[in-house]
Structure formats: C-alpha cells, structure tokens
C-alpha cells in the first residue's frame, strides 16, 4: 500500500532507503541487506539489453527470493573465493526519482549508480540504471523488486560477485 505521505516526504524516505541499501552493500552487511527484501522479492540484472524477457533469455542475475537467500548464504560461508578477500566498494547513487505510481501498488523508484570496485584483479567501475519497487511492510520500506541494468550489459564483463 502506498503510504499517505506526500510525494516530497516519500522521496525523502525512499532516498534514505536507497542510501542505506548502498551502504549495506558497500560494507558487505549481507544479512542486513537481505532483510531489506519482501518475501516475494525479485533481484534482476539483465544481459544484452534493457528489456529482454528473463523467462526466455539469459540474465546475469535473475533471483527469486529463495535464490537471493542462497546468494547471501554463499557469501556468508567465507569460502566464496571471488569475495575472499572481499572487494572494496563504494556505491555512488544519484538521479533518484519517483516514477509513475499505480494506485494501491508498490512505490516505483529509479536511480542511477556508479560503483567503484577494487578487487584482487584490478579496479573496476560499474555503471547502472536501477529500478525499484518498494513497499511498506509493518511500517518499514522493503524492496519487492530491484532491476539493475548495467550500461555495458551487452559486453563481456568481469566477475561481479558483490551485491550491486
């Protein structure tokens, strides 16, 4: 349900949510990040374009809620070698906008992000458009959907094993 807040107040709330998500990702707080998801969350990173059909074509990530949990569990083992040692990360988020809302539906938000990653291999910059559907659950904002569209998702990409 949409909260009764005005659009300006809502924008402040979703901005705080998105900044918090970015901080949890940067600091590898996997369980706290997972707790941001609703029970029906979908985490999607398409490949080869912005609008492929993930039910028919390969995506870089296309996780339902149980696969999000599995992704987090693997990171928590400490033996996911691509993140052992962990990448050093900083997300830079901008262009946060409330998008067209459906009455009674989830809150649609979009942002742009740059992520600077420093890993054993090298330093890598990732640029993305992020589309969220957020929802109030017990008074707290939660993610029901996050689509991360890398600008260069049609190219050959290095390993991307952190939470983006």
Q: Enumerate binding residues for another protein (CB under 8 A).
A: 45, 47-48, 52, 55-63, 67, 70-71, 73-74, 77-82, 120-122, 154-161
Q: Beta-strand (E) ranges in 13-98?
A: 37-46, 59-63, 88-98
Q: Which is nearer to another protein, 100 or 122 (CB)?
A: 122
Closer to another protein by CB, 72 or 110: give it.
72
For 126, the token pair is 């990732």
Nearer residue to another protein within complex by CB, 49 or 105? 49
Centroid of chain to Cα 158: 18
Write 6-9 long-range contacts (CB < 8 A, 24+).
Answer: 7/98
CB of 108 to another protein, least distance (A): 24
Output 65 or 80, the one with its CB closest to another protein: 80
Rounded least distance, CB 8 to another protein, Å: 36
Q: Which C-beta is closer to another protein: that of 111 or that of 119?
A: 119
Per-residue burial over 6-18, b if 16 or more Cβ lie within 10 Å, else e, is: eeeebbeebeebb
Taking the complex as a whole, the smallest distance from the CB of residue 115 to another protein amounts, in Å, to 13
Q: Shortest approach of another protein to residue 22 CB, angstroms?
A: 18
Provide the minimum distance between the beta carbon of 85 and another protein in the complex, in angstroms, as a whole number. 11
Phi-psi region of 15 (alpha: psi -120 to 50; beta: other; left: phi over 0): alpha
Token digits for 93?
């988020």
Beta bridge partners of 46: 59
């Amino acid at each position: 349900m949409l909260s009764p807040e005005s659009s300006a107040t809502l924008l402040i709330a979703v901005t705080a949510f998105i900044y918090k998500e970015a901080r949890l990702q940067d600091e590898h707080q996997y369980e706290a990040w997972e707790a941001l998801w609703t029970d029906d969350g979908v985490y999607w990173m398409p490949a080869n374009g912005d609008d492929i059909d993930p039910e028919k074509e390969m995506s870089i990530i296309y996780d339902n809620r149980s696969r999000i949990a599995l992704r987090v569990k693997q990171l928590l083992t400490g033996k996911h070698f691509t993140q052992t040692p962990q990448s050093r990360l900083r997300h830079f988020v901008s262009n946060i906008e409330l998008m067209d809302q459906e009455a009674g539906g989830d809150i649609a938000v979009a942002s742009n992000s740059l992520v600077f990653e420093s890993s054993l291999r090298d330093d890598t910059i990732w640029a993305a458009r992020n589309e969220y559907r957020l929802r109030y659950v017990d008074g707290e904002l939660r993610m029901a959907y996050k689509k991360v569209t890398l600008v260069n998702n049609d190219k050959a990409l290095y390993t991307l094993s952190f939470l983006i």
